[in-house]
């Protein structure tokens, strides 16, 4: 595991974008695993700049997002599909048919989860998985638990996650209580992992996750077992 500390969000974001761009330049048909949340916004803005400058093409890239809220459809401005369209997909030359976000409104959630896993496998697996880090150690929406959930599944969000995400909604009551998320196995199967965590509120959890014991109580700690993880962090 490589941990690189930054003292500004801007330099962290630029470094993350350089790593993702390098992946796409080396393998133009790369499969990228993507995250939402406030942390990767700066990274996506840097990737858009590279595309606009003619230095990067997403024409052959395939993407799979980590997660989606249940019960809000893709046109809702807090859905993760909406977020991705707004911050990245609508601003670069990615083929929308090759962008994937799990459905949070499928009638049969179990079928949707199995379909999502199969789609990732059919695309050849994820070359580079981008992650944020929840203040409780979650990655995707894999919340602290008694064991490590493996495949894409439906989760009940923890109160701390609902609190953290309520800043994006008009009121706390509007935050969905459930989500569909890739499992920790889905994330661990990615060839490379790039995790971003920035801010005073992330310092303790970065240390617990990457310098502490591997435990399902801190889901991100499982990344210590992955052979190719880069953590960009700071405050
Ligand atoms: C988002 C996701 C979450 C966030 C995490 C951190 O797709 O999977 O795990 O990465 O909640 O969110 P921010 O970046 O808003 O602090």
* Per-residue pLDDT, 145: 95
Closest Cα to atom 8 of ligand 1: 140
Residues 77 and 68: their CA atoms lie apart, in Å, by: 12
Global confidence as pTM: 0.98
Tell me, in angstroms, the distance from the centre of ligand 1 to residue 115's CA.
23
pLDDT tens digits for 129-178?
Answer: 999 999 999 999 999 999 999 999 999 999 999 999 999 999 999 999 99
Closest Cα to atom 2 of ligand 1: 140
Phi, psi (rounded to 5 degrees) for 61: -80, 145
Phi, psi (rounded to 5 degrees) for 126: -90, 125
Residues 135 and 151: their CA atoms lie apart, in Å, by: 22
Closest ligand 1 atom to Cα of 40: 14
Our answer to whether residue 151 is catalytic in this structure is no
Q: ∠170-173-178 over CA atoms, to 5°?
A: 110
pLDDT tens digits for 7-51?
Answer: 999 999 999 999 999 999 999 999 999 999 999 999 999 999 999
Phi, psi (rounded to 5 degrees) for 49: -60, -40
Our answer to whether residue 136 is catalytic in this structure is yes
* Per-residue pLDDT, 133: 98
* Per-residue pLDDT, 11: 98
Summarize the confidence of residues 68-92 as an average pLDDT: 97
HEC secondary structure over 194-210: EEEEECHHHHHHHHHHH
Q: Give the model's confidence band at 216: pLDDT under 50 very low, under 70 low, under 90 confident, else very high.
A: very high
Q: Give the model's confidence band at 101: pLDDT under 50 very low, under 70 low, under 90 confident, else very high.
A: very high
Residues 6+ apart with CB under 8 A from 161: 134, 136, 138, 141, 143
Closest Cα to atom 10 of ligand 1: 132
Q: Give the model's confidence band at 187: pLDDT under 50 very low, under 70 low, under 90 confident, else very high.
A: very high
Q: Is 69 helix (H, G, I), strand (E, B) or coil?
A: strand
- Greatest CA separation for the chain: 47
Our answer to whether residue 201 is catalytic in this structure is no
Tell me, in angstroms, the distance from the centre of ligand 1 to residue 130's CA.
10
Ligand 1 pocket, residues with Cβ under 6 angstroms: 35-39, 66-67, 132-134, 138-141
Give the DSSP H/E element, type plus range, for residue 22.
helix 9-26
Tell me, in angstroms, the distance from the centre of ligand 1 to residue 38's CA.
7
């Amino acid at each position: 595991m490589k941990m690189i500390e930054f003292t500004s969000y801007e330099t962290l974001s630029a470094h993350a974008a350089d790593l993702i761009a390098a992946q796409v330049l080396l393998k133009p048909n790369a499969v990228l695993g993507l995250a939402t949340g406030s942390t990767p916004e700066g990274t996506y803005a840097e990737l858009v700049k590279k595309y606009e400058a003619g230095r990067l093409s997403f024409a052959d890239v395939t993407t799979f997002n980590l997660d989606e809220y249940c019960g809000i459809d893709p046109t809702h401005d807090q859905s993760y599909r909406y977020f991705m369209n707004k911050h990245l997909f609508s601003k670069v030359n990615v083929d929308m048919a090759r962008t994937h976000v799990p459905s949070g409104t499928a009638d049969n959630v179990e079928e949707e989860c199995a379909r999502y896993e199969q789609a990732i496998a059919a695309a050849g697996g994820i070359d580079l998985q981008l992650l944020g880090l929840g203040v409780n150690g979650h990655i995707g929406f894999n919340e602290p638990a008694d064991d490590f959930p493996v495949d894409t599944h439906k989760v009940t969000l923890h109160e701390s996650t609902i609190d953290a995400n309520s800043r994006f909604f008009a009121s706390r009551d509007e935050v969905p209580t459930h989500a569909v998320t890739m499992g920790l196995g889905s994330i661990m199967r990615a060839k490379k992992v790039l995790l971003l965590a920035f801010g005073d509120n992330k310092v303790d959890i970065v240390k617990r996750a990457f310098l502490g014991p591997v435990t399902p109580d801190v889901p991100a700690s499982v990344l210590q077992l992955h052979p190719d993880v880069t953590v960009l962090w700071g405050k």
